[in-house]
């Protein structure tokens, strides 16, 4: 685990703190700001720490073109052009001020993934407390430098990125003035099969001296819980009101009750990590007396030898530890010892 930390809107984030849960709205507002509000309310009630949106338009992220490379092949969005996909998925810029106001009303942090410098400019005007670099943009170093120049914390997703690309992104961010960086391990499959998650990469990300976390696209909550157990300090997960309603990202999103369960389970996983310790936990203290120890199991007269017939290792644990059993055989009792007596050195001859 890394000891790095960062702070967003007054909330310290790092392995010494409970996991920071980010609910990603993405396209699940389905073009309806009221549904976006409902998602924000649901995320707050579920215990999420932050709402994340995306700031782009179809024209700022691509061009209207149906030539080679501009039509998606395979996956959830097969056959659609990039332009029409982003036209449907984008969060209208005219909503942004209202969404930020709603977040203040709810008492939940909101920030965004900007996809060009004009988006950064808008978010700066709204007082965004941090910026998220989407996996697909990790190679856009000028964009990363633009975000970093604000001095705000950067959370960078690493989906599809090589080690060199991750290093270049971190170097670009630091070179442009960013001092608080988180790297989120990510597999950019929609949805991601759990076996493609490769959570072991979390430990590798720590070598960049950053906070580490997970941006997850698997179904369910098991993978985020595993990530927290491995040291993830941030968990980002898409949220939808109802998967049955459809929507571009709903198939790999959590419903509110599932998000609440993930929040609780991640907090439990974090609490369970603790520190390396071979001592007794407070909850164990009362059970020590139930361990095995050496007892008299048949009456022994004074002067009689101890043998396998009259002493044994049994529960409870008030007698001598079982490791002394070989040394006790053949010794003689200094007094009468009744069946059920825990053995003590003072009862035995040398």
Judge if 36 and 104 occupy the same domain: yes
Domain assignment of residue 114, yes or no: yes
Query: Of 273, 292, 313, which residue sits at a domain end?
Result: 273
Pick from 97, 123, 112: nearest CA to 236 = 112
Helix (H) or strand (E) holding 131: strand 131-133
Q: Model-level pTM?
A: 0.88
3-state secondary structure of 112: strand
Do both 27 and 121 map to the same domain? yes
Reported as a pLDDT band with limits 50, 70 and 90, residue 2 is: very low
Q: What is the pLDDT confidence band of residue 281, given thresholds at 50, 70 and 90?
A: confident
If one compares 233 and 246, the residue with the highest pLDDT of the two is 233
Query: Rounded mean pLDDT of 52-68?
Result: 96
* Residue pLDDT, tens place only, 171-192: 999 999 999 999 999 999 989 9
Residue with token string 């999103």: 253
- Mark whether 205 and 340 lie in a shared domain: no
Token pair belonging to 160: 């599809």
- pLDDT(23) > 70: yes
302 and 207 in a single domain? The answer is: no
Task: Reply yes or no on whether the pLDDT at 102 is more than 90.
Answer: yes
pLDDT for the residue numbered 233 = 98
Average pLDDT on 88-92 reads 94
CA neighbor of 126 nearest in space, from 174, 22, 55, 61: 55
Q: Is residue 177 part of a domain?
A: yes
Do 307 and 240 reside in the same domain of the chain? no
Instruction: Please give the mean pLDDT across all residues of the chain.
Output: 95
Same-domain pairing of 176 and 253: yes
Please report which residue ranges of the chain form alpha helices under DSSP H. Answer: 33-46, 58-61, 82-89, 96-106, 117-125, 141-148, 163-175, 201-205, 222-229, 256-273, 325-328
Report, as an integer, the average pLDDT of 292-299: 97
Q: Residues 325, 239: one domain?
A: no
| Residue 221 buriedness (CB in 10 A; 0-12 / 13-18 / 19+) | buried
Among candidates 345, 291, 282, which has minimal Cα distance to 316? Answer: 291
DSSP 227: H
Q: For residues 312-336, give the mean pLDDT.
A: 96
Residue that terminates a domain, selected from 216, 243, 273: 273
Question: What's the pLDDT score for residue 274?
Answer: 86
The burial class, CB within 10 Å (0-12 / 13-18 / 19+), for 2 is buried
148-167 average pLDDT score: 98
| Same domain, residue pair 122 and 158 | yes
| pLDDT band (50, 70, 90) for residue 87 | very high
Q: What's the confidence (pLDDT) of residue 282?
A: 85
Give the pLDDT confidence of 27-53 residue by residue, as tens digits. 999 999 999 999 999 999 999 999 999
Give, in order, the Cα–Cα distances in Å from 97 to each of 38, 103, 155, 166.
16, 10, 22, 32
Do 301 and 253 lie in one domain? The reply is no
CATH of the domain at 330: 3.90.1210.10
Least confident of 272-281, 300-309, 328-337: 272-281
Average of per-residue pLDDT across 151-168: 97
Using CA atoms, how far residue 14 sits from 2, 64, 109, in Å, is: 8, 42, 17
pLDDT, position 147: 98
pLDDT surpasses 60 at 337: yes
Q: Is the pLDDT of residue 88 over 50?
A: yes
d(CA 214, CA 21): 10
Asked whether residue 161 is domain-assigned, the answer is yes
- Distance CA(321)–CA(26), nearest Å, equals 61
Closest CA to 173 of 146, 209, 137: 146
Question: Is the pLDDT score of 13 beyond 80?
Answer: yes
Q: For residue 305, what pLDDT band results from cuts at 50, 70 and 90? A: very high
CATH number, domain of 69, equals 3.20.20.70
Range of the domain at 318: 282-347
Q: What DSSP designation does 98 have?
A: H
- Evaluate whether residue 1 is within a structural domain: no
Number of structural domains the chain divides into: 2
User: Who has greater pLDDT, 258 or 276?
Assistant: 258
Q: Which of 242, 273, 304 is the last residue of a domain?
A: 273
In a domain, 52, yes or no: yes
Task: Identify whether residues 146 and 206 lie together within a single domain.
Answer: yes
Both 57 and 78 in a single domain?
A: yes
Residue 1 is predicted with a pLDDT of: 43
pLDDT at site 74: 86
% residues pLDDT > 90 (the chain): 89
* pLDDT value at residue 275: 83
For residues 173 and 322, membership in a common domain is answered with no
Res. 124 pLDDT band, cuts 50 70 90: very high
């Amino acid at each position: 685990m890394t000891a790095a930390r960062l702070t967003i809107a007054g909330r310290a984030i790092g392995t010494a703190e409970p996991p920071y849960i980010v609910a990603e709205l993405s396209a699940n507002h389905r073009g309806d700001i009221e549904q976006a509000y409902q998602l924000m309310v649901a995320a707050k009630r579920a215990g999420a720490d932050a709402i994340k949106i995306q700031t782009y338009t179809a024209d700022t992220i691509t061009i209207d073109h149906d030539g080679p490379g501009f039509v998606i092949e395979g996956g959830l969005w097969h056959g659609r052009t990039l332009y029409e996909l982003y036209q449907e998925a984008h969060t209208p810029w005219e909503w942004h001020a209202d969404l930020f106001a709603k977040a203040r009303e709810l008492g939940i942090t909101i920030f965004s993934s900007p996809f060009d410098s004009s988006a950064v400019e808008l978010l700066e005007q709204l007082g965004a407390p941090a910026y998220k670099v989407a996996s697909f943009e990790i190679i856009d170093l000028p964009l990363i430098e633009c975000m970093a120049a604000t001095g705000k914390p950067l959370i960078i997703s690493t989906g599809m990125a090589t080690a060199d690309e991750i290093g270049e992104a971190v170097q670009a961010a630091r070179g442009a003035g960013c001092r608080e960086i988180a790297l989120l391990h990510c597999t950019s499959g929609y949805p991601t099969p759990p076996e493609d998650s490769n959570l072991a990469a979390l430990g590798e990300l720590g070598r960049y001296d950053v906070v580490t976390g997970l941006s997850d696209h698997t179904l369910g909550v098991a993978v985020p819980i595993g990530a927290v157990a491995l040291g993830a300090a941030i968990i980002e997960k898409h949220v939808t009101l109802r998967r049955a309603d459809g929507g571009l990202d709903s198939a790999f999103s959590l419903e509110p009750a599932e998000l609440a369960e993930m929040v609780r389970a991640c907090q439990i996983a974090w609490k369970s990590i603790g520190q390396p310790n071979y001592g007794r936990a407070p909850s164990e203290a009362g059970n020590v007396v139930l361990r095995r120890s050496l007892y008299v199991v048949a009456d022994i007269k004074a002067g009689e030898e101890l043998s396998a017939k009259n002493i044994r290792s049994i529960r409870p644990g008030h007698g001598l530890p079982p490791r002394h059993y070989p040394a006790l055989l053949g010794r003689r009792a200094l007094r009468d010892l009744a069946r059920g007596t825990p053995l003590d050195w003072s009862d035995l001859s040398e």
